[in-house]
Each structure stands twice: as structure tokens, then as C-alpha cells.
Copies of this chain bind each other. A is one copy, B any other.
Amino acid sequence: MANSKYEYVKNFEQSDKLLPNTWIVIRIDGRGFHKLSDKYGFEKPNDRRALDLMNSAAQAVMKDIPDLIIAYGVSDEFSFVFHRNCSLFERRSSKLVSTIVSTFTAHYTYKWTSYFPDTPLEPNFLPTFDGRAVQYPSIKNLRDYMSWRQVDCHINNLYNTTFWSMVLKGGMRNQDAEQELKGTVSSDKNEILFSRYGVNYNNEPEIFKKGSVLFRDYELEQVKSTSSTKVTDDGEWEDTKLSRTQLDKQQKLRRKADVATAHVDIIKDEFWEQRPWLLSNIPGKLPNSKQSHET
């Protein structure tokens, strides 16, 4: 029995290939995590176990998909970045989004009991995520996106830290705390935290203040004054045409590299200058310890 009579329906699939030479950000967000965090008793304003679980799932995604160059997570969201020269799945948007969302979800579900041993998942309250793809044509746009998420992390965390201090330590009602915080600026919140609750916001854990950045770990490079020597007028690294063998070797290095999880400033240049492989997509040197295993 041939299937030709019905096969025409395949023609209704429309191309959703993303534009070549753009940075692709896949951002995933927890669905209904407000309710979920109540259900499973997440601590306020930040639950370290929940953040560690997010980071662990993101780690697995990074290991699973070596084409990813960096990921940034805060709260129940994570942004995964493909390099502008990435050609995974022919850059088909739905394929990229769904693969990352599914891989993240699988690991998040699988690892749950390691991070919440006392509150097992219930089938009607499984954590799920949605996702989207966004394209950024320039390095500046990409870095501004990353900065946007990290600034957002800071703004929300300062607010939440203050709010929950007022509620949990100060015994205020939610609405009253909300009302008092309306219109306040950063320094006001810092002052409330310090004078009322003895909290110095600067001493809060970096993972709360900065979020989490994941990237493949090669040897750090010294910032060179002539960092632009390798780039074209357009800010792109010269696409030296590499042989199949060279490309395979690079991919192997990426698979081999550890994925680091850091809680550092990604807004300033320093982070990017010390890790030129992030934007060049040329793997750096593996740390000595790792290399020695090869011999």
C-alpha cells in the first residue's frame, strides 16, 4: 500500500530557518513556576536547591549540544546561545527550540530528587518550560541581550530580597511591603535592608545577585591591548576556511571541555576578553590536567 495519496500534506510544512550569520538565543521559561514554587515549598526569595537544579539541567544541555557557546540563567529562566556560524539542524527554529526545551525538561525532571529529596514530584505538578528563539545580528546586540538579563536579575533580586525581608523578618503584610517599595530606587532598598534587617546587600551570595553563566572552560587568556587584531572591520573573526578534519577536531575539543558555572559580571568587557573563544567559536586550550590525559 503506497502512501502517495496522502503524502501531499507534507508540503504544508513551512520553512522556519533562521537567518544565517546571526547569534541565536533560545530562552526558556518555567511555566507557572509561581504556583509550582508554592507547591514544592521553594524558599523565598531564592531557593538555592531550585537554582542548582536549573544550573545542573543547563549543564547537561551544554554538554549534550556542543554547538552552544554560553548560557545564562536566572530564576526559572535560562538563555542558551548558538554562535552566529552555527548550522545545527540547518538553523530551523522549531527544531532548535524544541530540542533545547525537551533536553532541559528531561534533565530537570530526572535530577529533581537529587535536589529535592524530601518533596518528590507529583504527576499533576510536573515542572515544564516553554521556549522561543531570538536572533541578534551583531556582537553588540548579543552582549546587550546578556546584559539585559543580568541587569534584570539584579533589579529583581534586590527588590525580592528587600520585599521578603520586610515580610519574613519584618512581619509586614505583602501588600504593605509592596506599597512601601513602590517608587523606591536601589539606594532606598539597600538602606531598608541594612538599617532594618542588618543585611548588607553586597554580601548576598553572588549566585543570587549575578545569576549563573555557563560556558566551556579553557585556559584563561590575558587581555591583550590589541584584542582587535583578529577581527575584521566588521567585528567578525576572520572565517579562516577550515578543513573537515580541523572542524572535527574543534568539535571534539568542545565535547571534551568542562562546562564551568560562574556567578560573575558578564556586562563588562573583561569577561569576554578573557574568554575569546566565546565569540570566536575557536576552542581555547584545555587545562593542562585534561591535556595530559590525552598523551
Contact = CB atoms under 8 A, between A and B. Distances in A.
Contact of A134 (B12, B123, B127): B12
B21 A148 contact: no
Contacts of A186: 1
Contacts of A133: 94
A131 B3 contact: no
Contact of A106 (B22, B93, B105): B105
Contact of A98 (B3, B22, B101, B152): B101
B1 A98 contact: no
A131 to B, nearest CB: 4
Interface string A172-211: 0000000000000010000000000000000000000000
A126 B107 contact: yes
Given A13-B134, A137-B21, A121 B126 contact: no
Contacts of A17: 14-15
Interface string A1-15: 101011111111111
A28 interface: yes
Contacts of A251: none
Interface string A231-259: 11111100000000000000000000000
B138 A126 contact: no
A160 interface: no
Nearest to A138: B234
A186 to B, nearest CB: 5
B144 A130 contact: no
Contact of A9 (B3, B102, B132, B145): B145
Interface of A: 1, 3, 5-17, 19-22, 28, 31, 60, 84, 93-95, 97-99, 101-111, 121, 123, 126-141, 144-145, 147-148, 151-152, 154-155, 186, 227-228, 231-236
